[in-house]
Chains A and B, each alone.
Chain A
Amino acid sequence: MKPAIEIRDLEKRYGELRALAGVSLAIGEGEFFGLLGPNGAGKTTLISIVAGLARASAGTVAVMGADVITEYARARRMLGVVPQELVFDPFFTVRETLRFQSGYYGIRGNDAWIDEVMHHLDLTAKADANMRALSGGMKRRVLVAQALVHKPPVIVLDEPTAGVDVELRQGLWQFVRRLNRDGHTVVLTTHYLEEAEALCARIAMLKAGRIVALDSTRNLLESFSGLLLRLGLESGELPEALAGRVLEREGARVTLRLDNHAELEGVLAGLRQAGVVINEFDLQPPALEEVFLRLMERP
């Protein structure tokens, strides 16, 4: 697996604060990679250094083999970044914005590709509208389009769906999935864990500037997370032996944690012996959120 992004021993200090405390990570070409972590974990700092927006205190980053400092021009051509903030230049229209962005990358006469990108992002009708006149969702689409004008092999999306309505979110993911199928490497940071779970094949979890988990999404789900068993109790009391498994209790509804499917039989037997009658039963598969919370709770 040739790395699209290769990060080695990356550190970033802001005075006393260590935003990144030695991160090493290789993201392969063609991967759909997720970068998760709570606020302040260092996700955006990491992306900023990859994009050349911030400088590392120590360590190196290469994009498609180009060092982001010594070969910054090549590295930046390889990379398309959708920033987290909804930023735009109020002086220009959508088309002008995209033409300028192409020009910054040294590309002239890019209209055919610009039209195609606008078409896929449903922006064609707004091509000549001023950026100021667009809704938040539309501005977000323009940001995505801007990141794609130079056809970068590596695309980084920093929280692209924060504050975006469901319809756009679906459309956006469809488009990004397509880009990934076409061979683009996609790196995503998000707060929506179900999104990362559905999209990313591999995930790194950051906490306080360090990687605390790095594995395929499937392995992470299997190794860290249990099952959630939700029950509605018609009559009877939960036996003492199951008290340790209770995650949540709301009246007659109770949520129990199981480590795996094999434990289900024992739990049900315990309930039967205690004479508990159940009127609701729901077994949920492991969720990334569980993995995430468990990792973040660790000291």
Chain B
Amino acid sequence: MASFETLLYKELLRFWRVGVQTVGAPVLTALLYLLVFSHALEARVTVYEGVAYSAFLAPGLVMMSVLQNSFANSASSLIQSKVTGNLVFVLLAPITYVQFFLAYVLASMVRGLVVGLGVLLTCFVFVELRLEAPLWAFAFALLGSAILGALGLVAGILAEKFDQIAAFQNFIILPLTFLSGVFYSIHSLPGVWQTLSRANPFFYMIDGFRYGFFGVSDVHPAVSLAAVGLSFLVLSAATLLLLRSGHKLRG
């Protein structure tokens, strides 16, 4: 058990040591989004009755930050260790692939949730927000960060260099987050895009998370929770299989 705890602690310390970059910077980015978008759209867009656009936007930004940073943590940690070669210290040790998975995913969840909390607290300063069902919000934040942590692990396993991680981030993670309803409700989209959005697991994470704030959502939160939970299980199983095979980690 000590092996797992050590690896988890090491992963946590790794991002905490460069907290300005790993926590401070994403909070600032989210704040900029909030200020710019709410200033531009506040008067023009109403998504839910009685909810200001900035208030609608805030949970989306919080969740987006959670997701992006959870992904970034495991992906960049793993690719860095692979490129510099220090992953060998973990691979030489009697650490099981399940312990490896749990340590990287949990550390990613912590980073995502810490950043998310930072963004949330910042939002409270600028926007009037209420939390109708905080447990729902928390459940989605947990699952969402776990999914992206695992996805980051997959990207880190498959990639051989930093630009491949960047490509994964720019061509998969970013579009899926932006097209998930962070900035809008999918009900405002034309029919075909609405249907497509429902195939995007990120949509359920954001929609369910937002339900925790307003008690209103595009889809029933239980449906979203099931979709997100199922995504997590499938992805975890795939990641564990990949780790067990030693693919691209043990030649």
A residues sitting closer than 8 Å to B (CB atoms) are: 48, 51-55, 72-74, 76-77, 79, 81, 83, 85, 87-92, 96, 100-108, 146
Instruction: State A164–B145 Cα separation when bound (angstroms).
Output: 45
Q: Are A101 and B2 in contact (CB under 8 A)?
A: no
Q: Are A77 and B94 in contact (CB under 8 A)?
A: yes
Q: Are A83 and B250 in contact (CB under 8 A)?
A: no
Q: Are A76 and B251 in contact (CB under 8 A)?
A: no
On chain A, the residues within 8 Å of B93 by CB distance are 76, 101, 104-105
Q: Are B251 and A105 in contact (CB under 8 A)?
A: no
Q: Are A90 and B84 in contact (CB under 8 A)?
A: yes
Q: CB < 8 Å: which of B2, B5, B14 contacts A91?
A: B14
Q: Do most interface residues of chain B lie in helix, strand or loop, or is the interface mixed?
A: helix
Instruction: State A299–B8 Cα separation when bound (angstroms).
Output: 52
Instruction: State A213–B106 Cα separation when bound (angstroms).
Output: 50
Q: Are B250 and A100 in contact (CB under 8 A)?
A: no
Is residue B13 contacting chain A, with contact meaning CB distance below 8 A? yes
| Nearest chain A CB to B74 CB, angstrom units | 15
Is residue B195 contacting chain A, with contact meaning CB distance below 8 A? no
On chain B, the residues within 8 Å of A48 by CB distance are 251
CB<8 Å pairs between A and B, sample of 23: A48-B251, A51-B92, A54-B251, A55-B246, A74-B94, A76-B92, A79-B92, A83-B85, A87-B86, A88-B84, A88-B86, A89-B86, A92-B10, A92-B13, A100-B10, A103-B3, A103-B7, A103-B10, A104-B3, A104-B89, A104-B93, A105-B94, A106-B1
Known A-B contacts A48-B251, A55-B250; the reply to A73 vs B94 at CB < 8 A is yes
Known A-B contacts A76-B93, A87-B86, A146-B89; the reply to A103 vs B5 at CB < 8 A is yes
| Nearest chain B CB to A150 CB, angstrom units | 8
| Nearest chain B CB to A288 CB, angstrom units | 29
| Nearest chain B CB to A56 CB, angstrom units | 11
Is residue B90 contacting chain A, with contact meaning CB distance below 8 A? yes
Q: CB < 8 Å: which of A53, A74, A91 contacts B88?
A: A53
Instruction: State A255–B155 Cα separation when bound (angstroms).
Output: 60
Q: Are A104 and B6 in contact (CB under 8 A)?
A: yes
Known A-B contacts A87-B84, A88-B86; the reply to A103 vs B251 at CB < 8 A is no
Q: Which interface residue of A85, A92, A106 has the most chain B CB atoms within 10 A?
A: A106
On chain A, the residues within 8 Å of B88 by CB distance are 53, 83, 87
Q: Are A72 and B2 in contact (CB under 8 A)?
A: no
| Nearest chain A CB to B99 CB, angstrom units | 10
On chain A, the residues within 8 Å of B5 by CB distance are 103
Known A-B contacts A55-B246, A87-B84, A91-B17; the reply to A104 vs B251 at CB < 8 A is no
Known A-B contacts A81-B92, A91-B14; the reply to A55 vs B251 at CB < 8 A is yes
3 smallest CB-CB distances across A and B, nearest first, come from: A103-B6, A104-B93, A87-B85
On chain B, the residues within 8 Å of A104 by CB distance are 3, 6-7, 89-90, 93-95
Q: Are A105 and B3 in contact (CB under 8 A)?
A: yes
Known A-B contacts A87-B84, A87-B88, A104-B89; the reply to A72 vs B94 at CB < 8 A is yes
Q: Are A52 and B91 in contact (CB under 8 A)?
A: yes
Bitwise, B1-40 to A at CB < 8 A (1) or not (0) is 1110111011001100110000000000000000000000
